[in-house]
A and B are shown apart, each in its own frame.
Chain A
Amino acid sequence: MTTGVTPPADARGADARGADVQGADARGADAQGADARGADARGADARGADAQNAAAQDASAQDAAAHAGPRRPAWQRRRRAAARFWRQYRTHRAGLAGLAALVLCALLALTAPLAVGSDVAGVTDAPGQPLAPPSGRFWLGTDRYGRDLLGLVVWGSRVSLLVGLLAAVLSVAIGAAVGITAGHFRGAYATVMMRVTDWFLVMPTLVLAVALTAVLPRSLGTVILAIGVTTWPTTARLVRAQTLAVEARPYIERARALGGGHAHVMTRHVLPNVMPLVLAQTTLMVSSSILTEATLAFLGLGDPTVVSWGGLLQDAREAGAVSAGDWWYLVPPGLAIAGVALAFTLCGRAVETVLNPRLGVAR
């Protein structure tokens, strides 16, 4: 899988590093000796004068480095990797567009109480006539209770994004835990776990999620749980494959020989290596979680007390918007769902392509 990623990325990064990073290298050489540096020291040599200046400016940081011990180079490495990642991500236009859309959407969702006011969802003193088409006052028309649809769509983004994010995090967390442990402990445990994974993989996700929401009390927590518990197997398989690749590397053997236990190997060596994959997977998973959330709400299985995009569509259908041809009631919530789901998919694919260049050719 991602095994092939590191070498080319390192090679590219070696000449592309910024000045602050070289300064950091020099500090590191002071604090811990040059043996841990390897290739990185080359940059410090070449632009030694710059590095000296930077080091002098950061005298206090140097002290901190001495105290932080061997952790500090690791953080510098991660920061460099993040900068490198961003430089490559920037070249994917679709990914950037998706990211911009997401930032906009997140800002809207966070500022919704200020922008539209938290009473937008109130049914009792709705400001307009029920089912009015778009007008100067209500840009997107009104719903069955006479509430402003624009406000409702903005307000609904909060629930859709929240559920989408939390469900994706839960799903990927379960998947990563199963994947790492199944890849680390071989034998009977792995066999059983992978059988369970395969079983969940072929199960119709929606049917299982629907069955779960049907038997548990109606709430957002139930929806998050139902999505998380049914969608983890793809992640588990990906993470397990990556774990097997990582565990075959020599430094894992070294860690074991030095007395590192299972927990140490899994959290200190395997986890950091599967993390990029996990992040890409989370981004892609948010998109499908948002779709599933909308679907569950549309089937009447969401939390009836909150406004969500799927819930708005269910309202529209119940209010007879379809047979009456009230297109303005149907279009905005659906467009919002599709737009956010697409944005997350574009971001996820861009992240995946950056982290796995071989895949990048295939996509």
Chain B
Amino acid sequence: MTADAAPPPVEEVAGRTTGAAVRGPRARTAAAYLRYGAAKLAGAAVSLFAVLVTGFFLFRLIPGDPVKTMTGGRPVSAEQLAQYRREFGLDLPLWEQFADYCRKALTGDLGTSYQFRAPVIDKITEALPNTLLLTGTAFVLYTVLGIVLGTRAAWRHGRLGDRIHTGLALTLYSVPSFWLGLLLIVVLAVGVGPVPGLFPTGGMESGGEEGLAHVLDVAHHLVLPVVTLVAVEYGQTLLVTRSALLDEMGSDYLTTARAKGLRDDLVRRRHAVPNALLPTVTLVFINLGRTVAGVILVETVFSWPGLGGLFYQALSVPDLPLVQGLFLLFASAVIIMNTLADLVYPLLDPRVGR
């Protein structure tokens, strides 16, 4: 479908505002896309600001005096308390504290971790690549697996294979990811009875290896966490793909494609799946929030040195600057990914955003 097929009133509006009526459909499309993109970006900016506000006020709900928490019950004089308050800016009016916090957060200064006595941002940049490695691998695998299996299930709707796939996906979807991880460790890493441990119980590397051996070692450590994440996450993609494809199954254009004499396989790959994929893409991105939860739990269970593991360590203290920093990071990452998806989406599907 091209821009010519968009509803006429919208075209008129686009033509009037940009004066593009004489320039042809391509220019009008670009203008409409820019407006759509600007609206999405403005929305994302508002959302990110809301995250900042939440991050600030949520962590000021804590009962008790942050300075007293920091000094951890050590005997401190009133002067010292006042000194700390001045240092952390806690004697300023709330709105000044907020402005200060916003300025710092935007320049990447997220405060100092109580627990590690190191800047929060350093801990985050240290752990980020490890999380990206784990999440990226799992994300690619579960998306591909979910789409492939979902397509097959929908195409053979109602048959035994469909019911097995749907049932398995629903079951795994109900399984707590941390529990699945613990079981995998017991069975495949520690070993039950005669079964020897095949994989490391946790961590990311054994240490001491160089070059290719190191890469293989990390890959070996990566297997179980990735399997856990894929198992609990692929079900959602499968179900979404399946219902999106089933929505397309009755469409006239598929009947036409079949009437042309196309092979069943081609009808599916060239005609049905590309259309069904579009809603799937949106939902995959909306569900990124769920993936973040999965990552936190899986990293905790497998002692993976990433952001999720860091979040758990910060919680158990509780190390509030670190929790706050990670909260800001997770929330804004999901918002940014969603905005990217929104921006790419109309390029894939011309029906959106006009």
Q: Which A residues have a C-beta under 8 Å from some C-beta of B?
A: 94, 195, 198-199, 201-208, 210-212, 214-217, 287, 291, 294-295, 298-301, 310, 313, 316-317, 322-327, 330-331, 333-334, 337-339, 341-342, 345-346, 349, 361-363
Does B183 count as interface, using CB distance less than 8 angstroms?
yes
Q: What are 8 residue pairs bridging A and B, where the CB atoms are less than 8 Å apart in the complex?
A: A94-B167, A198-B47, A204-B330, A205-B289, A208-B331, A313-B182, A342-B170, A345-B170
Given contacts A211-B323, A299-B300, A325 and B190 within 8 Å (CB-CB): yes
Does B246 count as interface, using CB distance less than 8 angstroms?
yes
Q: Mark B320-344, 1 if CB is under 8 A from A, else 0.
A: 1001001100110011001000000
Which of A205, A299, A338, A362 is close to B179, meaning CB atoms less than 8 Å apart?
A338
Residue in B174, B180, B293, B301 with the greatest tally of chain A CB atoms within 10 Å: B174
Residues in A whose Cβ lies below 8 Å from that of B50: 199
Question: Do B179 and A334 have beta carbons less than 8 Å apart?
Answer: yes
Q: In the complex, A83→B297 CA distance in Å?
A: 43
Q: In the complex, A196→B174 CA distance in Å?
A: 28
Residues in B whose Cβ lies below 8 Å from that of A339: 174
Does B149 count as interface, using CB distance less than 8 angstroms?
no
Question: Do A295 and B174 have beta carbons less than 8 Å apart?
Answer: no
Which of A205, A216, A300, A322 is close to B61, meaning CB atoms less than 8 Å apart?
A216
Question: Do A334 and B176 have beta carbons less than 8 Å apart?
Answer: yes
Question: Do A327 and B176 have beta carbons less than 8 Å apart?
Answer: no
Residues in A whose Cβ lies below 8 Å from that of B246: 361-363
Nearest A-chain residue to B173, judged by Cβ: A345
Given contacts A207-B296, A327-B192, A337-B179, A202 and B338 within 8 Å (CB-CB): yes
Residues in A whose Cβ lies below 8 Å from that of B51: 203
Does B352 count as interface, using CB distance less than 8 angstroms?
no
Q: In the complex, A164→B331 CA distance in Å?
A: 25
Residue in B50, B51, B293 with the greatest tally of chain A CB atoms within 10 Å: B293
Residues in B whose Cβ lies below 8 Å from that of A316: 182
Residues in A whose Cβ lies below 8 Å from that of B62: 215
Residue in B176, B192, B301 with the greatest tally of chain A CB atoms within 10 Å: B176
Question: Do A205 and B201 have beta carbons less than 8 Å apart?
Answer: no
Nearest A-chain residue to B287, judged by Cβ: A202
Q: In the complex, A299→B179 CA distance in Å?
A: 12
Q: Number of B interface residues, CB 8 Å?
A: 57
Known: A330-B179, A334-B180. 15 other contacts (CB 8 A): A202-B334, A204-B288, A210-B296, A210-B311, A210-B315, A211-B58, A215-B61, A217-B63, A298-B176, A310-B176, A322-B190, A327-B186, A338-B179, A349-B170, A362-B243
Question: Do B182 and A322 have beta carbons less than 8 Å apart?
Answer: yes
Q: In the complex, A313→B183 CA distance in Å?
A: 11
Does B132 count as interface, using CB distance less than 8 angstroms?
no
Question: Do A211 and B290 have beta carbons less than 8 Å apart?
Answer: no
Residues in B whose Cβ lies below 8 Å from that of A342: 170-171, 174
Question: Do B43 and A202 have beta carbons less than 8 Å apart?
Answer: no
Which of B47, B293, B296 is close to A202, meaning CB atoms less than 8 Å apart?
B47
Question: Do A207 and B330 have beta carbons less than 8 Å apart?
Answer: yes
Q: In the complex, A98→B58 CA distance in Å?
A: 38
Does B178 count as interface, using CB distance less than 8 angstroms?
yes
Does B292 count as interface, using CB distance less than 8 angstroms?
yes
Nearest A-chain residue to B246, judged by Cβ: A362
Q: In the complex, A362→B157 CA distance in Å?
A: 9
Does B32 count as interface, using CB distance less than 8 angstroms?
no
> What's the nearest-Cβ distance from chain B to residue A211, in Å?
5
Question: Do B293 and A294 have beta carbons less than 8 Å apart?
Answer: no
Question: Do B286 and A214 have beta carbons less than 8 Å apart?
Answer: no
Which of A313, A323, A327 is close to B201, meaning CB atoms less than 8 Å apart?
A323
Residues in A whose Cβ lies below 8 Å from that of B300: 299
Given contacts A214-B323, A215-B58, A216-B61, A206 and B315 within 8 Å (CB-CB): no
Q: In the complex, A333→B301 CA distance in Å?
A: 16
Question: Do B58 and A291 have beta carbons less than 8 Å apart?
Answer: no
Residues in A whose Cβ lies below 8 Å from that of B179: 313, 330, 333-334, 337-338
